[in-house]
A and B are shown apart, each in its own frame.
Chain A
Amino acid sequence: MAKWGMVIDLDKCTGCQACTTACAMENNRLPGENWQDVLFYTEGTYPNVSMKWFPRPCFHCENPSCVSVCPTRATYKDPEGGFVLIDWNKCIGCKYCQVACPYGVRFFTDEKAVVQPDIRDVFPAKDDRQWDPPYKGPQDDPSRGIGIQPHGVVSKCTFCYHKVSKAPEGVADLDEDIPELKEYVPGCVRVCAPKARFFGDLDNPESYVNKLIADKRGVRLKEETGNKPQVYYLSGGAAAAVPGLRSMKDKS
């Protein structure tokens, strides 16, 4: 079975946030609750200021701490492709997974809206879902955390499970440049204008993602946590970089 993974080349990423927008459209995210986000960091003081940006989906970790802490097994690792998914029918909203994710990629959207006006009031839902937007993706699978989110549960990026899981078996890479495969490419990868994102099977020695990781020394974020992300970053020293520290200030 495939173990899907992503490579993000920070030398090519321009911080344009097309990925963020595409993900929000694809997955009907609430404004501000970005499953795929581009984080901006400023470091230093004038005149030595540098600005860095850092695209960040859920990393679908090999050893996900969010899975091991979930008391209901609502968060689980799909053995059929290495996706980390949430069964909204089992989630009790205890938020332990949010606390345990070292990367801060999970959302409990019952909180105060990040962006005002609260779009949930503009498009209220009739059932217990969070909202009822005029455009909704046809995909709806609460057992995998796909579709409009119910109240009281946690959500996060699914690696576009609804697309990737339908890809023909055995393909090494999902590349938007291959016409017959482009429908299966995750939204954020497909729209990336400078082609900074690659998506493929980490278990397939033929995959381009494996070649990139090997040739350009792909790194994973916060290795010390042991989570082993399935998202690798390539960083050769251009503007964007893997942030080494969360805190930008000196202790003193």
Chain B
Amino acid sequence: MINTSKSNLVFVVAIIGLIVTAALVLFNLASQGHAAFNGSNLGLHWTFPIVVYDYFLLTSTGLAMIASLMLIFGGAHCQPLVRRCLWLAVAGLVGGVSVLALELGYPVRAIWAIPTSFAVTSPLWWKVMFVIAYVVVLLITVNLLRKPGEWPAAARTSAILLLLAALGVTGIAGVVYGSMTMRPFWSSGDVPVAFIFESLLGGLAFAIFFSYLAHGFSQERMSAPLRDVLTGMLPKVFALAIFVHLMFVGARALIGLYSNAEGLQVWQYLAGTSLFHIELWAGLVLPLLLMLSPGLRSNAGSQTLAALLVMISLFIARYDYIIGGQLVPMFKGAWAPELLSYAPSFTEWMLLLMAIFLANAIYVWGEKKFDLSWCKQA
């Protein structure tokens, strides 16, 4: 079971980290404004904060999808993971939205200006509408399952709504990019579907990793039902999810490298970077091999490693996709380079750390408050 002193330590570290990183970010933003970010009018408009925001948001929806699928279809043996996934979804959501708030020009204005605009042609408007619905249903579901014990009957209805809201947020997040036909690197009809699979994979990786973290990376300390899930169905589903995502990544890269279309030359650049190869080989192929091997599949060490590698791989994928789509400048003349160069600024890195500390502080607080490991012993 949960080691209270250890979780207290994690909580204290997260709070201190949060205070330090938030102070640095706020100081830099107050003194330099958005010049503290490395965006530029040459073409890089959405930079690292948007990468972090989307990563956290889509991890959150992935976790919510997993939790709701388990609530709807999983039956009692899935119980030990549901509450953890739901609370992780809350933590990820808060981490992501806080980063977005610091990136927007007018975050407070956005709260009223978006919902009241009824800008139905804008994918971003729909995304925000779905995020609002998602927040409401997520909180209702968390509240319904707040106390250890039998699931109330309403939880199933709530889970169905949560699944729909999470699919909506994730799919429309894909539309935000996929509909940009003027940016061939982003644009494709399958992007919303790819985003949904990517989110599901992220949800699985986070669920596995944080389950182990909560039990000191030892299956012996887990309840029997949790151990059963982690050594039974879950790693197989995890392997399948990695495989599907790998197909999307591979297909996109191959088509990108083959095509002559303007904008897709970014693929040649990406394929030459070590980040891309870490994403592909260390972050997807290796975890897939680990999960395909019957001997390693249910092993605590290999599961934790695979989950961690996938989490990192998905972050690189998000970075390459969002930044890569903007690397070819749009009509900027000969003085603009063929491909823009970009690296996150110090403030942008601090935003990532701030989101990690914030999400972890919320997660550990929930762990203590709601006993996320509770389950009815079989």
Contacts and interface: CB of A to CB of B under 8 A. Distances in A.
Interface of A: 33, 37, 39-42, 54, 56, 65, 67-74, 90-96, 98-104, 107-114, 151-154, 221-222, 225, 243, 245-249, 251
Contacts of B330: 101-104, 246
A53 to B, nearest CB: 8
A90 B106 CA distance: 9
B112 to A, nearest CB: 9
B332 A90 contact: no
A246 B45 contact: no
B105 A112 contact: no
Contact of A247 (B35, B109, B338): B338
A251 B262 CA distance: 9
Contacts of A74: 113
A153 to B, nearest CB: 6
Interface of B: 33-35, 37, 39-41, 43, 45-46, 104-107, 109-110, 113-114, 117-119, 121-125, 128, 176, 180-183, 260, 262-263, 265, 268, 326, 328-335, 338
Given A92-B113, A99-B183, 15 more contacts: A39-B331, A40-B333, A40-B335, A41-B334, A54-B331, A67-B121, A92-B110, A95-B45, A99-B326, A100-B182, A102-B182, A102-B330, A103-B330, A111-B40, A251-B268
B83 to A, nearest CB: 34
A251 B104 contact: no
A69 B124 CA distance: 7
Given A39-B332, A103-B331, A104-B43, A110 B114 contact: no
Contact of B105 (A42, A91, A247): A91
Given A71-B117, A72-B119, A246 B46 contact: no
Contacts, number: 139
Given A65-B182, A246-B329, A111 B113 contact: no
Contacts of A249: 338
Contact of A91 (B106, B107, B128, B176): B106
A110 B182 contact: no
Given A93-B104, A93-B105, A243-B331, A100 B113 contact: no
A131 B265 CA distance: 39
Contact of B181 (A95, A112, A225): A225
Contacts of A71: 114, 117, 119, 122, 124-125, 128
A104 B338 contact: no
Contacts of A104: 43, 329-332
A94 B41 contact: no
B360 to A, nearest CB: 27
A152 B102 CA distance: 11
5 contacts: A67-B121, A71-B128, A73-B118, A98-B41, A246-B331
Nearest to A153: B105
Given A71-B117, A251-B265, A99 B180 contact: yes
Contact of A69 (B122, B265, B268): B122
B333 A39 contact: yes
A95 B121 contact: no
B117 A90 contact: yes
A69 B122 CA distance: 4
A72 B35 contact: no
A100 B125 CA distance: 15
A251 to B, nearest CB: 6
Contacts of B105: 91-94, 108, 110, 151-154
B124 A96 contact: yes
Contacts of A90: 109, 113, 117
B334 A42 contact: yes
A110 B35 contact: yes
A68 B265 contact: no
A40 B113 contact: no
A222 B121 CA distance: 22
Nearest to B35: A112
Contact of A248 (B176, B180, B334): B334
A249 B338 CA distance: 8
Contact of B121 (A41, A68, A102): A68
